[in-house]
Structure 1
């Protein structure tokens, strides 16, 4: 038991440079929320729904993280900061990282039947701050969800999703997404093709080309203006 706890705390230290010791990680709201959820989920499976909800509400009051007792969570989930909501039928794999203000939300059934309403998050996924993952969709292994992205469709393995509605950045995962990316959002790499035209040009290169073209046009226009302002020589003598 203590070995599993130590491995869990070490996995958080590997993703967060702030803590100076394991004891400090034990005070993280995400760690407390996950620990209390284990108890609430055990009560939920035992059909002790009121007690499960009581633990859930206590955890939410203590940590500002709301995890429904029915949600299924794998190993080494790291919820960095609070204000995160995880719905009843959500399923989370191993080594998942979720930042603040994330919602794993569900659809609103009109027939009165619950069913599978919330997302399935595969192993190694990173979900950035403020992202909204809605509906019974699947986030593939090692997917990265950028900050404030709204995802309502399945995400392929290794894809990075950004925007509202979220779109893929089209960066092959095997090229540079092997390492851990804080907040699931690339900061200093080209990550999207211009206009989706498939030519492989990135934004900075295209902007540089346009600036060069504009500079050439300005130089040509200056030459034309200079030529038009030159005095015109007249033949013969004045009368």
Structure 2
């Protein structure tokens, strides 16, 4: 996929998820979540290529500018969107599928003993279509199944199957209908915007 095509897809994704987005130009210039994602893609390439220090420095600069911290080791899928963004933290071994959306204050954090070897999977995996509400904390090497919704301020430390509604402290898992999952994600036909 070319850079221009990916850029258009990202802009369309932002416009599809945020009814306040008035134009692609506004999204391009003013959406810090998108700026953080674009920087994360660049830093991830540097990280994988072995340029670890430049990747970390650039990611920290992006954190300073956007208030969003995405470790260069994190793997991020297509059409990922961070709405409002401030305070989002995404750890090194996090894996994020396609069509995932996070709100502000979300932590995708690690939970492992201090002497865990570098590179050990210790952060969550969010499968395709997951939506995570404001302030939620998803901790440890767990999997949140596809098309699930995590409620605001939930603290999640256990796996959840696909089509789950995950709420509370500690979080409990309930089934989520396909229609409710679509509504939670704000499904739109965004292809017309590209």
Q: Shared fold (TM-score greater than 0.5)?
A: yes
State the shift of 1:8 in Å: 1.9
Question: What does residue 145 of structure 2 align with?
Answer: 140
> Aligned partners of 2:25 and 2:164: how far apart in 1?
34
> Aligned partners of 1:163 and 1:50: how far apart in 2?
38
Q: Aligned pair count?
A: 181
State the shift of 1:182 in Å: 6.0
Question: What does residue 50 of structure 1 align with?
Answer: 53
| Larger radius of gyration between Structure 1 and Structure 2 | 1
Q: Which has the higher contact order (CA 8 A, sep 6+)?
A: 2
Flag the structure with higher strand content.
2
Q: Is the 8 A contact 1:84 1:101 kept in 2?
A: yes
> Aligned partners of 2:67 and 2:46: how far apart in 1?
21
More displaced 10-residue stretch of structure 1: 94-103 or 108-117: 108-117
User: TM-score, structure 1 length as denominator?
Assistant: 0.72
- CA deviations 1:210-234 (Å, max 9, x no partner) are xxxxxxxxxxxxxxxxxxxxxxxxx
- CA deviations 1:107-161 (Å, max 9, x no partner) are 1324342410000000000000000000000010001000000000001101001
Aligned counterpart for 1:152 among listed residues 150, 157, 172: 157
Aligned counterpart for 1:80 among listed residues 80, 83, 86: 83
Question: What does residue 221 of structure 1 align with?
Answer: none
**How do residues 21-32 of structure 1 correspond to structure 2 at under 5 angstroms?**
21-26=23-28, 27-32=30-35
Question: What does residue 215 of structure 1 align with?
Answer: none
> Aligned partners of 2:107 and 2:165: how far apart in 1?
18
For the pair 1:130 / 2:135, whether they are aligned, the reply is: yes
Q: Is the 8 A contact 1:98 1:127 kept in 2?
A: yes
Gap regions ≥5 residues in structure 2: 187-194
Q: Kindly report the root-mean-square deviation, in angstroms, between the aligned alpha carbons of the 2 structures.
A: 1.5
Q: Is the 8 A contact 2:11 2:24 kept in 1?
A: yes
> Aligned partners of 1:117 and 1:70: how far apart in 2?
12
Question: What does residue 62 of structure 2 align with?
Answer: 59
More displaced 10-residue stretch of structure 1: 43-52 or 90-99: 43-52
Gap regions ≥5 residues in structure 1: 184-239
User: TM-score, structure 2 length as denominator?
Assistant: 0.88
- CA deviations 1:181-216 (Å, max 9, x no partner) are 269xxxxxxxxxxxxxxxxxxxxxxxxxxxxxxxxx
Question: What does residue 102 of structure 2 align with?
Answer: 98
Structure 1 segments (4+ residues) deviating >4 Å: none
> Aligned partners of 1:141 and 1:107: how far apart in 2?
22
